[in-house]
Amino acid sequence: MDEGKAARPHWWSRPQEAPRSQDPTAPSDPEAPAGVPQMAEPAPAQPAPADGADAGPDSGDRPDGTPPTPADAAQRPSLSKEPAPEPSQAAEPSDRPAIPPAPAVPPSQPVPANPYAAPVAGAGHPADAAAPRHPADPYGTPPYGRPGPWAPAPPVQRPTAPPAYPAAPPAAPPPGDWHRYDPWAPPAQPTPTPKRRGLVVAVAAAAIIAGLIGGVAGAYVQRQEAGPGITLPQAPADHGGRAPGTVAGIAARTLPGVVYIHVKGNGEEGTGTGFVLDTQGHILTNNHVVAPASSSGDISVTFSGGATHKATIVGRDTGDDLAVIKVGGVSGLKPLPLGNSESVRVGDPVVAIGAPYDLEGTVTSGIISAKDRPITASGGAGGAGEVSYVNALQTDAPINPGNSGGPLMNAQAQVIGINSAIRAADNGSPDGAGSQGGSIGLGFAIPINQAKRVAEELINTGKAVHPVIGVTVDMRYVGDGARIADQGPNGAPAVTPGGPGANAGLKPGDIITQVDGEPVHTGAELIVRTRSHTPGDHIKLMVRSGDAAPRPVDLVLGGSTTG
């Protein structure tokens, strides 16, 4: 409050000015501040008066013991001594505790000077002025106006770097130990409590159940609020049949007689298609489908109903790319009816059925694009197998690898051909290297008339008889027409003695340009045209010998069991 300010003296602590010393040479207090009155030194203790004598300042006697005169009374200064209370005015009890009197100082011991003591009796002052107005302070508390003793300042607490996070929480203090609050201490780590796994699992299960119930309830409410919703019109299911002439009708009647062939043997494996010829279990397919198992191997046949049976080879014809296999012990077979390929016209609708890329029961449709298309095909990989010559039916019905041996059906659900070859897209190389597999709309089928004859021969004799002219054709000839070679294989004559060609007057080097009025441009076309007939058929040829004009030649076809 008043620290550092000049204190204003109060009436209870204001010192009285001491009387000036009679000795002018007496030194003054050098430490007394200017303007502060000097305090009187306490008077020496007086000896106690004798019993019955009143020698105090208030007795009124002179120092020599004579009674005071009126003049002495006039010169005595008035004291602030309160009159004694009347007997009737008894002192009221006070709540203040009684202050003990100050201890007496022996006469032999000097009393130290107290600058804050009240004025004492001296020259010119009454004797009772030396008594203090208040009891002595046993604690020595200074009066207001001067700074008193200061308490020692508390130690300075400086912030320190927080210690590293302890590996474990600090140990709890012993009971009853007192710890001061330290604002710079790291926060106390909570003591981990053991997890209650069972409680957590129960809470999680309850939450999941509540979520499911809420989801179901919300969906129900949403549906109720949304109303009946939108119902799109739809035609009823039609489980009835299809017209016989439609693709669906043809497929429905054909699929039960189609089989899917899996072949393993000679380190090769392949798949193909076939169809049932009779109730005895004979199945017709392509020769290149079963060729891997020709000497040894395994052939399994899967019917449309899913039943699988083993099969054996009855006979093969490499020249026509046809083969017959047989399954035994199978009942309920449904042979497909055979049509007549001579009745086929360009543009007739057709349906092809097979298992391209092992996709069983695949049905495609198209038309007959051309007839009597002479093709040569090889059943081996990369064209290294046996070559077949076919006067084929051309169709744009999609045919892919795996369709080989499958039936080509007409609108009456009759077999008119056996799907055998396709023309694939290539990169333009002369040998067709790099050809891309898959249908490009150029598929070829063996006419059923030719396939029927070969199948009957294979079932009956195990061998097929091919119609022949009895001459060796020069396959290296690049001119127009089919040229008879100068010499046969292994040094044999090019025209077989006593054969159909020798009997018709054909010579080595002759060039055949037509067969039954159809132009022939290559040796392969001559073979294909001949294979479309049967042994014993009469054919008419146009033959050119040297520079002479072409001449007609009649010829009766012979037969051969060789390729």
What positions carry a catalytic annotation?
288, 321, 404
In the chain, how many H helices and how many E strands? 7, 19
Tokens for 355?
């298992």
Q: How far apart are CA 465 and CA 475, in angstroms?
A: 22
Query: Element (H or E) spanning 407, and its range?
Result: strand 407-409
- Judged by phi (left if over 0) then psi (alpha if -120 to 50, else beta), residue 162 lies in beta
Q: How far apart are CA 121 and CA 129, in angstroms?
A: 5
Which residue(s) pair with 315 in the sheet? 324
Q: Nearest CA to 484 among 494, 499, 470, 469?
A: 494
Tabulate helix, strand, coil % of the chain (nearest 5): 15, 20, 60
Q: How far apart are CA 323 and CA 264, in angstroms?
A: 16
Which residue(s) pair with 259 in the sheet? 274, 303
Query: Element (H or E) spanning 523, and its range?
Result: helix 523-531
Which residue(s) pair with 302 in the sheet? 260, 308
Report whether 128 contacts 58 (CB < 8 A).
yes
Which residue(s) pair with 395 in the sheet? 368, 443
Which residue(s) pair with 387 in the sheet? 378
Residue 301: Cβ-neighbour burial (10 angstroms; 0-12, 13-18, 19+): buried
Q: Report the DSSP pairing between strands 443-447 and 466-468.
A: unpaired
Q: How far apart are CA 562 and CA 541, in angstroms?
A: 23
Task: Using alpha carbons only, give the angle 420, 423, 425 rounded to the nearest 5 degrees.
Answer: 145
**Amino acid identity, residue 62?**
R
Helix (H, G, I), strand (E, B) or coil at 259: strand
17-43 burial by CB neighbour count: b if 16+ within 10 A, else e?
A: eeeeeeeeeeeeeeeeeeeeeebbebe
CB count, 10 Å around CB of 287?
26
Q: Report the DSSP pairing between strands 298-303 and 308-317.
A: antiparallel
Q: How far apart are CA 447 and CA 339, in angstroms?
A: 10
CB count, 10 Å around CB of 397?
24
